[in-house]
Protein backbone atom coordinates (compact mmCIF):
# COMPACT_ATOMS: atom_id res chain seq x y z
CA UNK A 1 0.00 0.00 0.00
CA UNK A 2 2.77 2.44 0.91
CA UNK A 3 4.64 1.73 -2.32
CA UNK A 4 1.46 2.38 -4.34
CA UNK A 5 0.89 5.67 -2.48
CA UNK A 6 4.44 6.78 -3.29
CA UNK A 7 3.98 5.86 -6.97
CA UNK A 8 0.64 7.68 -7.18
CA UNK A 9 2.13 10.78 -5.52
CA UNK A 10 5.02 10.75 -7.99
CA UNK A 11 2.65 10.37 -10.97
CA UNK A 12 0.60 13.35 -9.75
CA UNK A 13 3.70 15.43 -8.96
CA UNK A 14 2.80 15.52 -5.26
CA UNK A 15 5.53 15.82 -2.67
CA UNK A 16 4.66 13.07 -0.19
CA UNK A 17 6.80 13.52 2.92
CA UNK A 18 7.53 10.33 4.82
CA UNK A 19 9.66 9.63 7.92
CA UNK A 20 13.40 9.29 7.46
CA UNK A 21 14.22 8.37 11.05
CA UNK A 22 12.46 7.10 14.15
CA UNK A 23 12.99 7.22 17.90
CA UNK A 24 13.13 3.60 18.95
CA UNK A 25 12.89 2.07 22.41
CA UNK A 26 13.53 -1.27 24.04
CA UNK A 27 10.21 -1.19 25.91
CA UNK A 28 6.89 0.66 26.00
CA UNK A 29 7.90 2.82 28.93
CA UNK A 30 8.94 6.39 29.59
CA UNK A 31 12.04 4.89 31.25
CA UNK A 32 13.05 2.88 28.18
CA UNK A 33 16.41 3.00 26.48
CA UNK A 34 15.89 5.18 23.38
CA UNK A 35 17.86 5.98 20.28
CA UNK A 36 17.13 7.67 16.96
CA UNK A 37 17.86 5.54 13.90
CA UNK A 38 16.99 5.48 10.20
CA UNK A 39 13.50 4.10 9.56
CA UNK A 40 14.93 0.94 8.05
CA UNK A 41 17.37 0.27 10.89
CA UNK A 42 15.11 -0.74 13.79
CA UNK A 43 16.37 -4.02 15.28
CA UNK A 44 13.85 -6.80 15.92
CA UNK A 45 14.12 -6.32 19.70
CA UNK A 46 13.25 -2.60 19.54
CA UNK A 47 10.10 -0.64 18.63
CA UNK A 48 9.51 2.74 17.02
CA UNK A 49 7.60 5.04 19.38
CA UNK A 50 8.10 8.48 17.79
CA UNK A 51 9.40 10.10 14.65
CA UNK A 52 13.06 10.98 14.86
CA UNK A 53 14.61 14.45 15.02
CA UNK A 54 15.48 14.57 11.31
CA UNK A 55 11.89 13.71 10.39
CA UNK A 56 10.59 16.37 12.77
CA UNK A 57 12.68 18.96 10.89
CA UNK A 58 11.49 17.72 7.48
CA UNK A 59 7.85 17.83 8.60
CA UNK A 60 8.22 21.29 10.19
CA UNK A 61 9.75 22.64 6.96
CA UNK A 62 6.88 21.18 4.90
CA UNK A 63 4.31 22.69 7.28
CA UNK A 64 6.05 26.08 7.22
CA UNK A 65 5.30 26.52 3.52
CA UNK A 66 1.78 25.10 3.55
CA UNK A 67 -1.36 27.12 2.88
CA UNK A 68 -3.58 24.48 4.49
CA UNK A 69 -2.65 21.91 7.12
CA UNK A 70 -4.96 19.01 7.86
CA UNK A 71 -3.52 17.02 10.76
CA UNK A 72 -4.98 13.72 11.91
CA UNK A 73 -2.97 11.62 14.36
CA UNK A 74 0.05 12.16 16.60
CA UNK A 75 3.60 11.32 15.51
CA UNK A 76 4.26 9.00 18.42
CA UNK A 77 3.35 8.12 21.98
CA UNK A 78 3.09 11.79 22.98
CA UNK A 79 1.54 10.85 26.33
CA UNK A 80 5.03 9.82 27.50
CA UNK A 81 7.58 12.66 27.73
CA UNK A 82 10.30 10.47 26.19
CA UNK A 83 8.25 10.14 22.98
CA UNK A 84 6.46 13.49 22.71
CA UNK A 85 9.17 15.30 20.72
CA UNK A 86 7.86 14.52 17.24
CA UNK A 87 4.27 15.39 18.03
CA UNK A 88 5.35 18.56 19.82
CA UNK A 89 7.52 19.63 16.85
CA UNK A 90 4.62 19.14 14.43
CA UNK A 91 2.14 20.90 16.73
CA UNK A 92 4.49 23.87 17.13
CA UNK A 93 5.10 24.03 13.37
CA UNK A 94 1.35 24.05 12.71
CA UNK A 95 0.82 26.75 15.36
CA UNK A 96 3.67 28.86 13.95
CA UNK A 97 2.26 28.89 10.40
CA UNK A 98 -0.03 31.87 10.88
CA UNK A 99 -0.78 32.14 7.13
CA UNK A 100 -2.27 28.64 6.88
CA UNK A 101 -5.71 27.31 7.61
CA UNK A 102 -4.99 24.64 10.22
CA UNK A 103 -7.47 21.85 10.81
CA UNK A 104 -6.85 19.36 13.59
CA UNK A 105 -8.92 16.17 13.40
CA UNK A 106 -9.07 13.34 15.89
CA UNK A 107 -9.16 12.96 19.64
CA UNK A 108 -5.46 12.16 20.04
CA UNK A 109 -4.37 15.14 17.92
CA UNK A 110 -6.71 17.39 19.89
CA UNK A 111 -5.28 16.01 23.15
CA UNK A 112 -1.76 16.73 21.89
CA UNK A 113 -2.38 20.37 20.93
CA UNK A 114 -4.14 20.86 24.27
CA UNK A 115 -1.24 19.23 26.15
CA UNK A 116 1.23 21.59 24.49
CA UNK A 117 -1.00 24.66 25.03
CA UNK A 118 -1.43 25.34 21.31
CA UNK A 119 -5.15 24.71 20.71
CA UNK A 120 -5.98 28.42 20.59
CA UNK A 121 -3.55 28.84 17.68
CA UNK A 122 -5.37 26.40 15.37
CA UNK A 123 -8.08 27.43 12.90
CA UNK A 124 -10.42 24.52 13.57
CA UNK A 125 -10.36 21.51 15.88
CA UNK A 126 -12.59 18.43 15.65
CA UNK A 127 -12.50 15.29 17.77
CA UNK A 128 -14.06 13.44 14.81
CA UNK A 129 -10.87 12.30 13.13
CA UNK A 130 -12.32 9.50 11.02
CA UNK A 131 -15.31 11.59 10.00
CA UNK A 132 -13.04 14.52 9.15
CA UNK A 133 -10.97 12.28 6.87
CA UNK A 134 -14.10 10.99 5.16
CA UNK A 135 -15.37 14.54 4.63
CA UNK A 136 -12.18 15.76 2.92
CA UNK A 137 -12.22 12.63 0.75
CA UNK A 138 -15.61 13.72 -0.57
CA UNK A 139 -17.66 11.07 1.19
CA UNK A 140 -21.17 11.91 2.36
CA UNK A 141 -21.63 12.11 6.10
CA UNK A 142 -25.14 11.28 7.37
CA UNK A 143 -25.12 14.06 9.98
CA UNK A 144 -24.03 16.69 7.46
CA UNK A 145 -26.53 15.44 4.88
CA UNK A 146 -29.35 15.65 7.44
CA UNK A 147 -28.53 19.33 8.00
CA UNK A 148 -29.01 20.06 4.31
pLDDT in tens, 16-39: 999 999 999 999 999 999 999 999
Going residue by residue through the chain, which has 148 residues, state the pLDDT in tens, using 9 for 90 and above: 989 999 999 999 998 999 999 999 999 999 999 999 999 999 999 999 999 999 999 999 999 999 999 999 999 999 999 999 999 999 999 999 999 999 998 899 999 999 999 999 999 998 888 888 888 888 888 888 898 8
- State how far the alpha carbon of 12 is from the alpha carbons of 7, 16, 21, in Å: 9, 10, 25
CA nearest to 62, candidates 76, 49, 51: 51
CA 101 to chain centre: 16
> Which pTM value belongs to this model?
0.88
Residues comprising the chain, all counted: 148
> Contact at 8 Å (CB) between 103 and 52?
no
Amino acid sequence: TARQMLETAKEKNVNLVIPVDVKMADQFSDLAYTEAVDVDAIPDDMMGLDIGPATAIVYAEAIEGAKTVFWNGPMGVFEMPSFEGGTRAVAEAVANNKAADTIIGGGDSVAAVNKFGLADQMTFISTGGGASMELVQGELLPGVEALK
